[in-house]
Structure 1
Amino acid sequence: MSLHGAALIPMVVLTGAASVLLAILLVRWWDRGPGRNRPRLPQGLESSLKPMVMLFRDGVLVDATPPARALLDRFSAPEGDWARLLQWIGPRFPDAIEALGRIDRLGRFESLGQSGSGSAALRLVAEGIDAGLLRITITDPQAEYAGIIVDSMSQQAMEEELDLLRRSLDQTPMLVWRQDAEERVTWANAAYLRRAEAQGDEPIGWPLPRLLESPRPVPGAGTRTRRASLNQNGAVSWYDCHSHHVGDQVMMFALPADAAVRAERSLREFVQTLTKTFADLPIGLAIFDRQRQLQLFNPALIDLTSLPTGFLTARPTLFDLLDKLRELRMVPEPKDFRSWRQQMSNLESAAATGHHVEEWSLPGGQTYRVTGRPHPDGAVAFLFEDITSEMSLTRKFRAEMSLGHNILDNIGEAVAVFSPEGQMAMTNQVYRDLWPAAPDSLGGALASWQAHAEAGPGFEALRARLAGSEGALRDTGLIKGPGGQLLGWSVTRLPGGRQMVRFRLPDPATQSDPAGQRLLTAGTAL
C-alpha cells in the first residue's frame, strides 16, 4: 500500500463517525420538533403516575393534580374544598388537623397515616410556601424509592373495603360458602366454620364438610332457593338456601329460617283447627274473595242448602251461588226476577260495607237467618243459620204472652206489676181504665194514685207496703178511688223480687153500708 492510500484510511473513519453522529443529532432534533408524533404512555398509566398535590391560598384551592381533584370530588361539603380535604384527612391523620392550624408557625408538617395496612399507609406533607400559600402532598412511602408514584388512596380504599367485607361475612348469622364443580367446599365464612366444628368432636380438615343439601343453580336461570334442615345433637335448625353461579363455582347462602318454620307450622295448625271447627259448626259458612268467588265453605252449607258438592268445589261466584239457590227454592220466593236480582245486589253491597242480617222465609216452611260480614282485603263472608225452631218457639211464646195479656184484660180487677227496680212491668186494661195516667215507675204510680184518690190510713198503708218500710205487715186495705168509689187493694210478692198490686171494687152492699165507710176511714183490711 502506498503512503497516499495509508493517509486516506483515518480520514474515512473520521468521516463515517461524523456522519453517524450527525444522523443521531438530526433524528433527535426531528423527534423534539413541534408537531411531531412521539410515542406516549397509555393515558390511564400516565394519569396514575401523577402525584397527589394540592395548592391552597387562604383556604381556597388554587391548583391540584387530577388525582387530588378526584379525591376532593368524592366528598360533599358546602364550605368548600378545604372542608372536603379535612373531611378526608380527619380519620386517616388524627394529628394533622391541629398541625394544619399551626402551619404558619411550623412551616412544614409531615404525618404517616394511621388508617390502612401494608402498602396502603400514606404520608401527608404540608408545606407553607409563602404567606397564606400552602401545599399539601400525599404520597406512598414504599413507592417513592421504587421510582413510581402509586395511587395509594385507591389501594387503601380497597383494603378497607376488603376488611369490611371480611368482618361482615364473619359476623353475619347466615352460612356462606363456595363450592366447585365437584361440589367441594372451597371457602366458608366464620358462621359455617363454627357449625362445622360443632357437628363433630374431631377438628375439621380440608376440604370442609358439606352441611346442607343446597339447590344447584341452573346456568342462566339466576338464583334458586330451597329450604333445608341441619340436625345438630338432636336440635333441628332450618335454613333458606340460595345458590348463585360465580364463574365455574357456586356461591351458597343459607339464611336462618327457624322463626319462619315455626310461624308456618303455627299457621298450619291454626288453619287445621279452624277447618275442624268449621266442619263441626251447624251454621253454613261461605267466604268469598274480593272478586266474589267462593274460597271456603263447610259441610253445614251443603246440609242446609242442598247445593251439590261439585258445584261448590268449582268456586262459583256469589251471584252464581244465589242463582243456584233460587233454582233449588232455597231463597224467598221473589215477585219477579228483576226485583230478586236487585235484592241480592243490595245484600252483597250491605254485607261488604258492614254487618247485615236478613231472615229468609223459604217456600218449604223453613226460616233461615242470613248474615253478611266484611272481611279484610275486600272479602265477604255469609252465614246461613236455620232458625225454624227458634222462630216457632218465638211465635209460641208470643202467643202465650198474648193469651196472658188477654186473660189479665178480662178479669175484673185492676192489675199492675212492678220490677225490683221499681219500673212498671205490666198492666191490664182494667187498670188503665181505672187510673187516668199510667206512669212507668212505682214512684210515679204512687203520685198518680194520691192525686186521684183520697188520702187516708188505707193509702198510707199501701205506700208503706210498696216501699218495704219496717213494720208494714198489711198486704190488703181500702182506699177511695178516682170516682169516689171504695177500692180494695192487695199486694202480692212475685218471683224475682217483683210485686203485683191489685185494685178491686168491693161488693155494692159494702159501698152503701155506713160500716164500710167507717172501715175505710180506719184503714182496716177487708
Structure 2
Amino acid sequence: MLSSPEIAVAMLAAGVAASVGLYWSGRQAGRKTETGAASQEPLSMLFDAGVLHHGTATALRRFALIPGAHLWDDLHETLAHRFPAFPDAPGDGEAGCITLHADDADDIQRVEISWRGPLCWVTCSDRAPSVAGGHDPAATASKLASETTPHPAWQTDRKGDVIWHNTAYQSLFQKVHGRLPDKGDRLFDPTSAEGGTRAALHPTQGDPIWFELISQDRDGWTMHHATSIDALVKAEDAQRSFVQTLAKTFAHLPIGLAVFDRDDQLFLFNPAMLELSALPVAFLTARPTMLSFFDQLRENRRMPEPKNYGAWRKEIMELVAAAADGRYRETWSLEDGRTYSVQGRPHPDGATVFLFEDISAEISLTRNFRSELEMTQHLLDKVEDAMAVFSPSGILTFCNRAYRDLWQQKPDAAFADVTIADCVAIWRQTATTDLGWQRLLTMPGRKGPREPLNGTVTLHSGLRLSCVCEPIASGGTLMRFRAVQEVATALA
C-alpha cells in the first residue's frame, strides 16, 4: 500500500497533467478557430495614392506585402501575368469599379478593383468550390460563353485602353494584324465608326470587314460588342449599284418614272420625270411620300385640278390602292393643252411604280386623223355612186350613205365585222341577175395582179345597176354601184 505522502504526490501529478491537457486542448481549439477564420478572410487591400495603406492578414501573407512599404507596382508585378488587363496604375478621380477574370482556372479567379478619389480597393477571390467540390456552374457557363461566342467583346477603361477581351476579339485581331494583341492594343478605332454604330477593319489582304458596334458604359469602364454585318453591307452595296444601273438605264427614256417603296416614299426617278412634273430636284431627292408627290403635282398644275380638295384626297388614296393592284390607268388633260398618260403598277416587296407619258402629239395626231376621216366621210356621202371598201381580209371598212340607202345595210350597228360574204349574200338576194358573185368573194384575198370586174345587174325593183369591182391601194377592194340611166346620161 502507498503511504500518505506517495498518494499526495500522485494526486498532484495527475492534477498538473490534467491542467496541461486542458490548456493544450484549448490552445489547439483556438488555433483551429483562428485558422478557419483566416481561411474565410478575404484577400483585400487598400491603396492610398498608389501606396499600400492597409490589407487583411491573409492578403499581406499571400502577396508578401507590407503596408507603407509596398506600392501598386508590386501588386501589379504579382498579378499581371494572370490578369493581362490589370491596370498599370490605380484608378483616380471619380468613383469607379472594374472586374478582371483570370485566363486559367487555377488559384485566384477574379480581381475586383474599385476606387474613389485617391483611395483604391483591391479584392481577390479564390476559386469558389461548389457543393460537390467542383466549379460554380454559373461562372463556368459564363466563361464558356465568353470564350465560344463568335462576336468580339472587349472592355476599356476611361482612357479608352483595352483592359479585357474575349477569344473572338483575339482571333479577329490576329486575322487583321497577323499577331496576338499586346496589352492595351485597340482593334477598333473609335473614329472609324460611321454614325457611331459601324466600323470597318482593313486586313492586309482581302476586302474590309464591317461590324456594328454596341457600347455600354459602367462605372469608369465601357463594355463593347461587335457584330459582323459584312453580308448586310454587301447587300446594301449591291442595292446601290442596282439602283444606279436602273437610273442610267431609265435616264434616256422619254417616259417619266417614279418608284415608291413599301413605305410610300419616293425611291427612284428619272430625268424625264423632272421635265414632265416640273417638280424641283430638291423636292424629289428629299424622298417625299406618295401623297405629297401628287399634292405637289396638283400645285404645279401637272394633273387635273380637282373640284373638291377633300374629295380629291380621297381619290388619291384610291389611286394609290388601284396602282398597288395594277388597275390604275388614266389620261390627264392639263390646262395648258397637254395630255399625259399615267399608269400605276405594283412591284415586288410592296413597291409601286408610276409611269408618266406625254401623249399630246399622239392625241393631236389622232384628233387630226379623226377630223380628216370625218371630212372624207362627209365628202363621200355627197357622192351619188354607192361605194363600199373592203380590206385585204374581206372586212367592210367603209361605205357611203348612197350604199347604205341602196342596199339597206347598217354596218355600224352590226354586232360583228361585216365581211364581203355578208354583202354578196345581200346583193344576190336583192338582184335578179347574176354578176358573178362567186368571183367577187375571192377578189379581196387574191394574190398577184387583180383585174377589175364590170357588169350590170337588175334589182327586184326594176332598177338596173352598173357594177365595178376594182383593186385599190394597200390590198383593198372598191365596189361601186351606179344606176344605168345615170351612166347613159353621163355618156351623153
TM range (shorter): 0.5 to 0.7
Q: Which residue number in structure 1 is paired with residue 200 of structure 2? A: 227
Structure 2 SS opposite 1:230:
coil
* Correspondence for 1:342 among 297, 303, 311: 311
Instruction: After TM superposition, give the deviation of residue 252 of structure 1 in Å.
Output: 6.5
Written as runs of structure 1 = structure 2, the 5 A alignment for 1:454-469 is 454-456=432-434, 458-466=436-444, 468=446
In structure 1, C-alpha distance between the alignment counterparts of 2:449 and 2:334, rounded to whole Å: 61
Instruction: After TM superposition, give the deviation of residue 452 of structure 1 in Å.
Output: 2.1
Q: Which residue number in structure 2 is paired with residue 493 of structure 1? A: 471
Change (3 A) 1:374 1:349: farther
Q: Which residue number in structure 2 is paired with residue 436 of structure 1? A: 408
In structure 2, C-alpha distance between the alignment counterparts of 1:471 and 1:324, rounded to whole Å: 62
CA contact (8 A) 2:177 2:203 kept: no
Structure 1 SS opposite 2:367:
helix
Instruction: After TM superposition, give the deviation of residue 500 of structure 1 in Å.
Output: 2.6
Q: Say yes or no: does 1:387 pair with 2:365.
A: no
In structure 2, C-alpha distance between the alignment counterparts of 1:191 and 1:453, rounded to whole Å: 106
In structure 2, C-alpha distance between the alignment counterparts of 1:301 and 1:406, rounded to whole Å: 42
**Counterpart AA for 1:424:** L
Per-residue deviation, residues 223-282 of structure 1 (Å, max 9, x unmatched): 9642333241xx32533265778998977656371x444322222122234445566554
In structure 1, C-alpha distance between the alignment counterparts of 2:186 and 2:152, rounded to whole Å: 11
Written as runs of structure 1 = structure 2, the 5 A alignment for 1:353-368 is 353-354=322-323, 355-368=327-340
* Higher fraction of helix: 1
Change (3 A) 1:210 1:500: farther
Change (3 A) 1:7 1:367: closer
CA contact (8 A) 1:480 1:487 kept: yes
In structure 1, C-alpha distance between the alignment counterparts of 2:433 and 2:170, rounded to whole Å: 99
CA contact (8 A) 1:214 1:252 kept: no
Per-residue deviation, residues 17-74 of structure 1 (Å, max 9, x unmatched): 799999xxxxxxxxxxxxxxxxxx9xxxxxxxxxxxxxxxxxxxxxxxxxxxxxxxxx
In structure 2, C-alpha distance between the alignment counterparts of 1:240 and 1:348, rounded to whole Å: 41
Q: Which residue number in structure 2 is paired with residue 38 of structure 1? A: none
Written as runs of structure 1 = structure 2, the 5 A alignment for 1:73-472 is 151=132, 183=162, 188=167, 192=171, 196=175, 213=188, 225-232=198-205, 235-240=206-211, 242=213, 255=228, 257=230, 259-276=231-248, 280-284=252-256, 300=272, 303-304=275-276, 306=278, 332=304, 338=308, 341-343=310-312, 345-354=314-323, 355-373=327-345, 383-437=355-409, 438=411, 440-456=418-434, 458-466=436-444, 468=446
**Counterpart AA for 2:404:** R
Which has the higher mean CA deviation after the structures are superposed, 468-477 or 346-355? 468-477
Q: Which residue number in structure 2 is paired with residue 116 of structure 1? A: none
Which has the higher mean CA deviation after the structures are superposed, 180-189 or 392-401? 180-189
CA contact (8 A) 2:435 2:455 kept: no
**Counterpart AA for 1:346:** E
In structure 2, C-alpha distance between the alignment counterparts of 1:322 and 1:189, rounded to whole Å: 52
Instruction: After TM superposition, give the deviation of residue 399 of structure 1 in Å.
Output: 0.5
CA contact (8 A) 1:413 1:430 kept: yes
Change (3 A) 1:184 1:478: farther
Where structure 1 has 5 or more consecutive residues not aligned to the other structure, the ranges are: 23-40, 42-148, 512-526
In structure 2, C-alpha distance between the alignment counterparts of 1:306 and 1:156, rounded to whole Å: 70
Change (3 A) 1:466 1:361: closer
Per-residue deviation, residues 405-449 of structure 1 (Å, max 9, x unmatched): 223222232222223333222222222222234571232222222
Change (3 A) 1:475 1:165: farther
**Counterpart AA for 2:207:** V
In structure 2, C-alpha distance between the alignment counterparts of 1:230 and 1:293, rounded to whole Å: 38
In structure 2, C-alpha distance between the alignment counterparts of 1:504 and 1:419, rounded to whole Å: 22
Change (3 A) 1:458 1:175: same
CA contact (8 A) 1:228 1:241 kept: no
Q: Say yes or no: does 1:505 pair with 2:483.
A: yes
Structure 1 SS opposite 2:436:
helix
In structure 1, C-alpha distance between the alignment counterparts of 2:192 and 2:208, rounded to whole Å: 23
**Counterpart AA for 1:10:** A
CA contact (8 A) 1:180 1:250 kept: yes
Where structure 2 has 5 or more consecutive residues not aligned to the other structure, the ranges are: 23-35, 37-129, 412-416
Change (3 A) 1:263 1:484: farther
In structure 2, C-alpha distance between the alignment counterparts of 1:314 and 1:252, rounded to whole Å: 34
Instruction: After TM superposition, give the deviation of residue 392 of structure 1 in Å.
Output: 1.9
Instruction: After TM superposition, give the deviation of residue 369 of structure 1 in Å.
Output: 3.8
CA contact (8 A) 2:451 2:471 kept: no
In structure 1, C-alpha distance between the alignment counterparts of 2:191 and 2:293, rounded to whole Å: 47
Instruction: After TM superposition, give the deviation of residue 395 of structure 1 in Å.
Output: 1.2
What is the Cα-based RMSD across aligned positions, in Å?
A: 5.6
Instruction: After TM superposition, give the deviation of residue 314 of structure 1 in Å.
Output: 7.0
Per-residue deviation, residues 173-219 of structure 1 (Å, max 9, x unmatched): x68586887559977569948974x987xxx678599896465999x
Change (3 A) 1:485 1:468: farther
CA contact (8 A) 1:360 1:367 kept: yes
TM-score (norm 2): 0.54
In structure 2, C-alpha distance between the alignment counterparts of 1:179 and 1:326, rounded to whole Å: 57
**Counterpart AA for 1:401:** L
Instruction: After TM superposition, give the deviation of residue 295 of structure 1 in Å.
Output: 6.7
Instruction: After TM superposition, give the deviation of residue 357 of structure 1 in Å.
Output: 3.6
